[in-house]
Amino acid sequence: MTTDLSGRVAVVTGGSRGLGREMVRALAGAGADVVIASRKLDACQALAREVEAQTGRRALPLACHVGSWADCDALADAAYAEFGRVDVLINNAGIAPQYDRVEDVSENLWDKVLDVNLKGAFRLSARVGARMAADGGGSIINVSSLASLRPRPAVIPYAAAKAGVNAMTEAFAHAFGPSVRVNAILPGTFFTDISRHWDMKAFAEDAATMALRRGGEPHEITGIVLYLAGDASSYTTGALIRVDGGFP
């Protein structure tokens, strides 16, 4: 089945790079107009120009720090002001700062990780999801992480935040059902900008335990995104879907 999103509008946070950039490209390629949001407006603008040139779809670049409640509200307001509707919301923005020891985690780091990964997704889902329900339906896609199910010492705040995203996904599915579907994607290891900082020896050991024996390429996230954004997933909600190459 080919996904046709013609006439629909999708908002993607963290949309200017990494997995978010591939999601934006795929959604526009399927016919959707897109709102590209991240903290770096210039990166959003560059991708918007590319999308419009390659797909002919409208692309609205917006600066947004999802850790700010006010920025989330401004993003939702700008999307509706420009397009009059939002059919797909992808809460993709996230951060996972590194630390050497658990006791080195500061209150500031903890708050920053929870704000970006959990608070922003909550506020946007609440604002946009309520409007979707009033308008007759839509799809919210939360980007969680395999770390929410397989937490490790190096990412405790991040794993805790993403576990919260999982809980929120099921709760919002009930809050906004039956017209709005809410699901979460749990990516494993993907070769994005962040992978440049990986310990590749440690990654090779992890990859050897995976069913596919490798990390994912960024474009490999788009199949599940298009499925959840489109009509093929009409009976899928409250789901946590792993996309991790068969991590044990």
Residues 57-82: pLDDT tens digits?
Answer: 999 999 999 999 999 999 999 999 99
Residue 185: inside a domain, yes or no? yes
Residue 3: inside a domain, yes or no? no
Report pLDDT for 117: 98
Residue 248: inside a domain, yes or no? no
Report pLDDT for 90: 98
Residue 160: inside a domain, yes or no? yes
How many domains does the chain fold into? Answer: 1
Report pLDDT for 123: 98
Residue 210: inside a domain, yes or no? yes
Residue 221: phi and psi, rounded to 5, are -85, -20
Report pLDDT for 166: 98
Residues 219-237: pLDDT tens digits?
Answer: 999 999 999 999 999 999 9
State how far the Cα of 27 lies from the Cα of 144, in Å rounded to an integer.
Answer: 19
Residue 2: inside a domain, yes or no? no
Spans of the chain below 50 pLDDT: none
Residue 4: inside a domain, yes or no? no
Give residue 190's domain range.
Answer: 9-243
State how far the Cα of 173 lies from the Cα of 137, in Å rounded to an integer.
Answer: 12
Report pLDDT for 204: 80
* C-alpha dist (Å) from residue 64 to 58, 76, 95: 19, 10, 14
Find out whether 129 and 172 touch, Cβ atoms under 8 Å: yes
CATH number of the domain within which 21 lies: 3.40.50.720
Please list the active-site residues.
144, 158, 162
The reported pTM is 0.95
Report pLDDT for 198: 57
Distance of CA 208 to the CA centre of its chain: 27
Residue 1: inside a domain, yes or no? no
Written in H, E and C, the secondary structure of 172-209 is: HHHHHCCCEEEEEEEECCECCHHHHHCCHHHHHHHHCC
Report pLDDT for 192: 84
